[in-house]
Chains A and B, each alone.
Chain A
Amino acid sequence: MSTETLPALDEGLADVRPTARAPYRRLLGGATIALFAVLIPMALLWAPMDAKQGNPQRIFYIHVPAAWIGFLAFFVVFVGSIGVLRTGKRRWDDIASSSAEIGTIFTTAVLITGPLWGRPVWGVYWTWDPRLTSYLLLWLIYVSYLVLRGYVPEPSRRARYSAVLGIVGFLDVPIVYLSTRWWRSEHPTQFVFERGGLPTAMLITLLIGIATFTVFYAYLMTVRVRTGRMQEALDEEVFA
């Protein structure tokens, strides 16, 4: 692979332009509000109380969907990063960086709601079990991604470096999960998350939760990508 075959990222500069708000954005925003309006009463009131865990189990309905979005957002960072390296177009960097920022928010929420669920139910705020550990790692990689971006002022270099970290980081997360799973399995005290068959009402609530958070993520992305482009246009004074 010689240097001649690599696309120069600066060619993407021409497509940085302030754009109007996406037309479907209102739809996404409205849908988010509507879905939350359904989810919250369902999770807090309609869903049955868990026999073993009691009411704190209700945290599950906002914890698991957030965790799912954390992974989804990171996958989008991965796809965007590959796009940056292969095409050199700014678009991909906008997508990757926006998804990283939003993903960090959701991942932070997971790390807050998790201990709040864990404490009343299992007696501890934290444990080094595979899932939690890999989630903490995910958060750390997200943060290092954002910090790296803050340290590189040149746009094309920033996009490339973030892309490399985005790819390496994403590939690392499943490996972290596997290795911590092996590690903890050597110790007898391991918290088993009961997965065997959720009651229907709980399952429905969870699915609504996942749908809600996915739509919320999509909405946040449309806003954030646009904001990112406007910021870039301002920074680089592409415009007369």
Chain B
Amino acid sequence: MNGWGYVVAAYVGSALLYGTYLTWLLRKERRLERSTGDLQPR
């Protein structure tokens, strides 16, 4: 692995990490919006 290999690994790896987390979070939000959408405050 020359210099660029490590750079690519770091950038792509970070992107995957943040991207996966963000995707998971937004999906969770959508699911929760659906589940709590029909709830009314007491």
Partners in one complex: yes
Given A112-B17, A227-B32, A44–B11 Cβ distance below 8 Å?
A: yes
Q: Tell me the nearest residue of chain B to A16, going by C-beta.
A: B41
Q: Which DSSP category, helix, strand, loop or mixed, fits chain A's interface? A: helix
Q: Which residues A210-235 have CB closer than 8 A to chain B?
A: 216, 220, 223-224, 226-227, 230-231, 233-234
Given A58-B7, A233-B39, A234-B35, A223–B13 Cβ distance below 8 Å?
A: no
Is A117 a contact partner of B10 (Cβ separation < 8 A)?
yes
Write out the residue numbers on chain B whose beta carbons fall within 8 Å of the beta carbon of A12.
Answer: none
Please give the residue numbers on chain B whose beta carbons come within 8 Å of chain A beta carbons, in ascending order. 1, 3-4, 6-7, 9-11, 13-14, 17-18, 21-22, 25-26, 28-29, 32-33, 35-37, 39-42
Is A116 a contact partner of B9 (Cβ separation < 8 A)?
yes
Given A220-B22, A240-B40, A240-B42, A62–B14 Cβ distance below 8 Å?
A: yes
For the complex, give the distance between the alpha carbons of A66 and B35 in Å.
34
Q: Tell me the nearest residue of chain B to A112, going by C-beta.
A: B13
Write out the residue numbers on chain B whose beta carbons fall within 8 Å of the beta carbon of A240.
Answer: 39-40, 42
Among A62, A216, A230, contact of B33 (Cβ-Cβ < 8 Å): A230
Is A116 a contact partner of B40 (Cβ separation < 8 A)?
no
